[in-house]
């Protein structure tokens, strides 16, 4: 009976964590889409799979820096919260050895490493800044707009990096230009 209660608590915590992560992701995507549409002057579709947005702002560097800092902070807070809840669930599980919780923790760490690797490689290619966000539906890569805006060759370079560093297909990759 005692084992059943522990397993039930661990499962309830896992469901709560997953629901929280999903709702945070969903709310962040809706809010980001609304904010991008309000602040950008023009949007240009390069292909059915890749959206590139462009626009001029007076304080472009500050806006980009604030955007990338806010996205990284939000992503890290969501991960920290999920890891904390998963660690609590692991502590409540029998002997702290819940393989499902351990697998979820490993997945979070691997996703963070993959995103960091992709971001580093994109920046190494000469782009000012970059944030990658991996979800179940694919990967979004937000890139600081170069002076002439992102060109098709830029999108191809970024897509190539993602393809080489992950298991995603071209249709799973979304490149967004941050003005």
Which pLDDT belongs to residue 157?
A: 93
Q: How far apart are alpha carbons 124 and 118 in whole angstroms?
A: 10
Tell me how far CA of residue 140 lies from CA of 15, 91, 169, in angstroms.
25, 34, 12
Which pLDDT belongs to residue 105?
A: 81
In the structure, what pLDDT confidence band is assigned to residue 20 with cuts at 50, 70 and 90?
Answer: low
Domain count, the chain: 1
Please give the model's pTM, rounded to 2 decimal places.
Answer: 0.59
Of 173, 171, 170, 112, the C-alpha closest to 143 is 173
Mind listing the pLDDT tens digit for each residue in 130-177?
999 998 889 999 999 888 888 999 999 999 999 999 989 999 999 999
Mind listing the pLDDT tens digit for each residue in 30-59?
544 444 444 433 333 333 333 334 444 444
Q: Which residue has the tokens 């230009």?
A: 177
Supply the CATH number for residue 11's domain: 1.10.287.4300
For the beta sheet containing 130-135, the strands, ordered from the edge strand earlier in sequence to the opposite edge, are 130-135, 138-144, 173-178
Tell me how far CA of residue 8 lies from CA of 48, 77, 103, 172, in angstroms.
44, 26, 18, 35
Q: Write out the residue range of the structural domain in which residue 144 sits.
A: 2-178
Q: Which residue has the tokens 């661990």?
A: 10
Please state the length of the chain.
179
In the structure, what pLDDT confidence band is assigned to residue 122 with cuts at 50, 70 and 90?
Answer: very high
- DSSP states along 100-153: HHHHHHHHHHHHHHHHHHHHHHHHHTT-S-EEEEEETTEEEEEEEPPTT---HH
């Amino acid at each position: 009976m005692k084992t059943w209660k522990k397993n039930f608590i661990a499962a309830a915590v896992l469901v709560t964590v997953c629901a929280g992560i999903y709702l945070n992701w969903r709310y962040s995507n809706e809010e980001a889409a609304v904010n991008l549409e309000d602040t950008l002057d023009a949007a240009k579709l390069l292909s059915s799979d890749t959206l590139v947005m462009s626009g001029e702002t007076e304080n472009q560097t500050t806006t980009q820096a604030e955007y990338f800092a806010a996205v990284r902070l939000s992503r890290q807070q969501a991960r920290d919260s999920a890891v904390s809840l998963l660690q609590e669930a692991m502590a409540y599980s029998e002997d702290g050895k819940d393989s499902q919780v351990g697998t979820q923790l490993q997945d979070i760490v691997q996703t963070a490493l993959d995103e960091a690797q992709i971001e580093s490689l994109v920046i190494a290619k000469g782009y000012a800044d970059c944030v990658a966000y991996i979800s179940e539906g694919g990967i979004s890569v937000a890139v600081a707009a170069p002076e002439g805006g992102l060109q098709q060759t830029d999108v191809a370079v970024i897509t190539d990096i993602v393809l080489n560093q992950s298991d995603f297909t071209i249709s799973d990759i979304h490149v967004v230009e941050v003005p």
